[in-house]
Structure 1
Amino acid sequence: MTSATLDRQISKPKTQRGRRFLSKREPQIFENDKQTLIIKGAHTSEIVNAFMTDVGLLKKPLANKLKWKNRVLPFEDASFIERMCEKQDCSLFVFGMHSKKRPHNIVIGRLHDHEMLDMIELGIERYASIRSTDTKLSLGAKPLLIFSGEAFEESEESRHLKSLLIDLFRGPKVTKVNSAGVEHVIHFIMPSEGRLIMRVHAVELRPFQSGPEQEKASVDGENAQISEPLKTPWGPYVQLELRNAAPEADFVIRRCKLPSEDKWKRACRVPSQLRPKTDKSSKNRSLDVFGSKVAQVHVQREHALDELRPAASMRTALTGNVKRGFERQQQPTKKRKLADGAPKAKRQRLDKDNE
């Protein structure tokens, strides 16, 4: 099919409003915040419904939820999810279902250019919803994400899971973050390959108390973690308190679908307008993945190593043993006097030694 035939089949917008709508859907240099689409499967359990409701509360206002149930199997056919995400302008999705084969099943994934990029299937083993606690979080608050466990870097699936969780819970993009405004922490723990633990802690900043007031506060916060006194830029000392909040979940990792290498490179491509500019004339300077400048410094050679004897070891040089490591200072030696009647060969040999 030629390009002219495709142009005739594509219906072009006839109004200014339609052109503005399509221009917003086109690729942008500065993309908007990623929206998440929450989809229910044909059969769901109470745990799955509670999890998807809590994810919607944590993601607000960057979350859209479909009200009806859908007979969808993402790993067999993802066309419905791609179509709904394109319609709702969402690049992330959370799909929940429940069956005898896969109980309390959750699928999280993301799309690129309205095509499925990657998705990971998780099974909920234990769950505590937000309704089970009295802790309240502000709408649209940006969380602090913490990842613990070496298993996050052991395999390609674990690295994609970490990247997917960051995209899902990172919140809106901001240029600056007020440290005093961080209200909750989402802690992901991976004790072993195939298991994932999610914990949420509420952050409270309070002035430092000493004496009986401190003992009373420690008794009241038995289930909380209190930091050491920290000095603020404006003078007084404060303490950070982490209280257990919700949701809490224990997952088991099931299936995983990873993108091809070419598709992953296209998804991670950065526009040329946003790439940090490098000065080609400058030498020994480079930029790391965060855009920070890194310089390479050349240190001059140590002159003390040149004074070593050829057979001296580095250990002797570092210990500073003058007798063994370095050549002794040449002291002026007295020349041996030869008798006038000494042989000529012996005289030449002694002259060489004196040199």
Structure 2
Amino acid sequence: MRLIRGLQNLSSFEGRCVATIGNFDGVHLGHKVILDQVKREASLRNVPSVAMIFEPQPREFFQGDKAPSRLQSFRDKLVALAAEHIDVVVCLQFNQRFRSLSADQFIRSILVDALHIEHLVIGDDFRFGCDRTGSFELLEQNGLAHNYSVERTDTIEVQNLRVSSTRVRQSLNENNLTLAAELLGRPYSISGTVAHGRKLGRKLNAPTANIYLGSGRPALCGVFAVQLRVNSRRNAKVKSFVSDAGRCDTFPGVANIGYRPTVDGVRPALEVHLLDFSGDLYGAHVEVTFLQHLRDEQKFERIEDLQQQIGLDIEQARQFFISRSMMTENTFPAEEP
């Protein structure tokens, strides 16, 4: 997948394309329907498939710290789009100059002159241009003059609920990991690089892998049973876990994601204690998948109380994985007739 960052670099884009436009935060099932339409149409026309995204996301530009939390980092979004086999991702900076473009200017300067679109696929709620005056009808009207076609994607529903990033965010906020996974088409996860922390976990007999989250608010908070997968080792000194199934790089654990109120945390943090783990993960890029909510984040008056609760969290996570393993072992395929 090719990444083009900035309007100035779109001059390198040659030929026609089939494109879509959006934030694609989470790359959920609704997004995947749009991307499938783009890829199918691009294949029929023998042109590249293109997804246009923005940094910062428009609501982050307008609302600042009050904007909704992100479901994915920029890197994770690119990984997810690459997994959908999109040919080109165009990332444009959303700034004052860009937001001032009228809908007609956006169509002419971005879609026609820069991207040379042949066909455009958009979601049913897509609006664009200054003050969101651009619409599907305007795109259709301009398509006749500029020789491109436009196609709308209808709303996708799961359990009679519209699939959207907002709905995924709400599910995570309510600790409904099952519904979030259904909306996403996969369990919710966060990836990042393991960095050095304050080493407080070691003092509490529960060493943790600390994953940097940046300054934005996480989409969920609390204590969870998780699985951690090592994507790349880099400088990490990881002893591969060996089980009955053989060697693997996926480990069960318990994670705290939030602001660590007991130790006066300010920035959001993701800390993962791995069960029965031996190794050094510093520098490794990892993915943490959230499987079960154990409790909300809380502030303890004494460090000793926190240490006691961590021990209970670890035991609860261990029991979750034992139960999960037993369920897997007792699941058999249906007998053939």
Instruction: Please tell me the TM-score bracket, short chain as reference.
Output: under 0.3
Greater share of helix residues, 1 or 2? Answer: 2
| Larger-gyration structure (1/2) | 1
Q: Give the TM-score, by structure 1 length.
A: 0.21
Q: Give the TM-score, by structure 2 length.
A: 0.22
* Higher RCO by CA contacts (8 Å cutoff, separation 6 or greater): 2
